């Protein structure tokens, strides 16, 4: 017989014993790792749990940071929008208007006129002390302003214009005024001239209380001033016609409840008041 090498194959009993031995070995080694796991769970936190706890501590600060960043961004955006709108107002004022030292305060807004066939009450309509006070507020109580020589040149005005000296500062300049207040003065004169019996009295003390020739010249001057300004501005707003069943009028009438882009009169008036001067002399 030829000699052959054989590998012994364990019997089933031997396999079972071998498996049992390995399990026994594992069981003797496991307590060490198990005890470490138990100690970590009881005495120390696992890495995952520690990371979760750190995240929980971090999130409130992150939320505060996000809210702060959002607030600052919104605030900056609001400032930019306001500043941008102001810059746009100044830009268009300078672009479409003649130079004016008051241009920096001009802002624009949209306003709807309230003008029906039978007018609602207005403080500027009629006659009497209260009406006069309303007109004085927007015309006579403003005062004159003073401009420098450089501003006079920019305006293209006569270099021989009247010079004055500011009684408070001693500064020299030229006596000046804003056109809007002259135009309102003229409109007020026309109003008062329609109540000549009242405003022609000397005790009332208006521009109507003068001789007829002077009054006629003043009225004609004001009519022409208003005409030139209205034609220069040439309002291109559009109105329609409609019926007014709730008013005691017949037929259709113009609907003047139209939208207009207006300058902020109060700010312009405040500028004029702030820059008004009392002057000592005229040259």
Model confidence pLDDT, tens digit, residues 240-275: 999 999 999 999 999 999 999 999 999 999 999 999
The pLDDT value given to residue 97: 82
Whether residue 2 is contained in a domain is answered as no
- pTM for this entry: 0.68
Residue found by looking up tokens 């021989």 in the block: 160
Q: Cα separations (Å) of 216 from 66, 196, 211?
A: 72, 12, 9
Comparing CA positions, the residue from 249, 132, 119, 101 lying closest to residue 198 is: 132
Classify 106 as helix, strand or coil.
coil
Tokens, residue 31: 């307590």
Q: Which residues pair with 205 in a beta bridge?
A: none
**Helix%, strand%, coil% for the chain, nearest 5:** 55, 10, 35
Classify 259 as helix, strand or coil.
strand
106 close to 89: Cβ distance less than 8 angstroms = yes
Q: Are 63 and 121 members of one domain?
A: no
Q: Are 24 and 123 members of one domain?
A: no
Distance in angstroms (rounded) separating the CA atoms of residues 230 and 211? 29
For the chain, which ranges sit under pLDDT 50? 1-7, 9-17, 19-20, 23-39, 283
Q: Are 86 and 204 members of one domain?
A: no
The pLDDT value given to residue 30: 47
Residues 6+ apart with CB under 8 A from 257: 112, 113, 114, 115, 116
Residue found by looking up tokens 């400032």 in the block: 79
Question: What is the domain extent for residue 133?
Answer: 103-282
Query: Torsions phi, psi of 50, nearest 5?
Result: -65, -40
Percentage above 90 pLDDT, the chain? 58
Whether residue 9 is contained in a domain is answered as no
Q: Are 150 and 275 members of one domain?
A: yes
162 close to 279: Cβ distance less than 8 angstroms = no
Classify 247 as helix, strand or coil.
coil
Whether residue 48 is contained in a domain is answered as yes
Domain C-terminal end among 96, 128, 145: 96
The domain tally of the chain equals 2
Domain C-terminal end among 48, 81, 96: 96
Q: Are 66 and 132 members of one domain?
A: no
Domain C-terminal end among 58, 76, 96: 96
Q: Are 82 and 190 members of one domain?
A: no
The pLDDT value given to residue 251: 94
Classify 37 as helix, strand or coil.
helix
Comparing CA positions, the residue from 149, 168, 181 lying closest to residue 269 is: 181
pLDDT tens string 7-46: 454 444 444 445 445 544 444 444 444 444 444 555 555 6
């Amino acid at each position: 017989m030829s000699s052959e090498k054989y590998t012994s194959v364990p019997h089933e009993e031997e396999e079972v014993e071998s498996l049992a031995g390995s399990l026994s070995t594992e069981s003797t080694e496991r307590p060490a790792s198990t005890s470490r796991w138990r100690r970590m769970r009881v005495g120390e936190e696992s890495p995952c749990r520690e990371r979760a706890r750190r995240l929980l501590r971090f999130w409130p600060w992150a939320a505060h940071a996000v809210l702060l960043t959002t607030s600052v961004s919104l605030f900056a955006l609001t400032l930019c929008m306001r500043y941008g709108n102001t810059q746009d107002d100044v830009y268009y004022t300078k672009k479409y208007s003649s130079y004016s030292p008051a241009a920096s305060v001009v802002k624009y807004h949209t306003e709807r006129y309230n003008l029906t066939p039978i007018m609602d009450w207005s403080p500027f309509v009629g006659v009497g002390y209260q009406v006069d006070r309303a007109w004085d507020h927007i015309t006579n109580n403003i005062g004159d302003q003073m401009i420098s020589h450089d501003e006079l040149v920019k305006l293209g005005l006569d270099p021989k214009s009247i010079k004055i000296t500011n009684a408070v500062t001693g500064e020299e300049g030229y006596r000046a005024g804003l056109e809007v207040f002259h135009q309102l003065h003229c409109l007020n004169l026309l109003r008062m001239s329609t109540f000549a019996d009242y405003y022609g009295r000397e005790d009332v003390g208006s521009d109507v209380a003068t001789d007829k020739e002077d009054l006629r010249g003043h009225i004609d001057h004001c009519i022409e001033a208003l005409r030139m300004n209205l034609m220069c501005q040439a309002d291109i707003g559009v109105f329609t016609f409609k019926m007014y069943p709730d008013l005691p009028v017949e037929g259709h009438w113009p609907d003047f409840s139209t939208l207009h882009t207006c300058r902020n009169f109060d700010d312009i008036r405040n500028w004029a008041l702030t820059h008004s001067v009392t002057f000592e002399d005229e040259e």
